Structure 1
């Protein structure tokens, strides 16, 4: 996997690791405030330095991406449950046929 692809995956959703392999933490920037957005929140590398090797991601973006990822997973699980229900019905039908065949023999 290329470095840019792995970085894109690391930075998607709620980050757990920085590309430098350090853990992340939540950070509230009290200096970077606006009337409409007091105390911006970030996910930030524990060893953050503004040198381009570490990241600082807005909290809102990380949470929004994580919610979207979880929506996709819930949809996939719903599909799996539907398939399981269909398979259970098919298995019941097969068990019924086997029991009918056993009675004949």
Structure 2
């Protein structure tokens, strides 16, 4: 899969003409891959909950999507406004919270 187009400052990706916040480039590759994997699992769970018409499961899955998106830097305080320590803390805490949901 081709990399999406980025804005010149690298803060956003352009997909189908729409601008989306880019993932924090400072996240280590293995951590970023794990967070993306957890994000995709949560998205699949949202779909399954919708098909099953299970409102509680949907809320839980959407909360996991939010945790993953924040940990990746795609939501919440923009990663370019955070210090290196704050960025590291954001993705570590997000990963820990998502791992607790997986347990």
TM-score under structure 1 normalisation?
Answer: 0.28
TM-score under structure 2 normalisation?
Answer: 0.29
Q: Which has the higher contact order (CA 8 A, sep 6+)?
A: 2
Which protein has the bigger strand share?
1
Bigger CA radius of gyration: 1
Which protein has the bigger helix share?
2
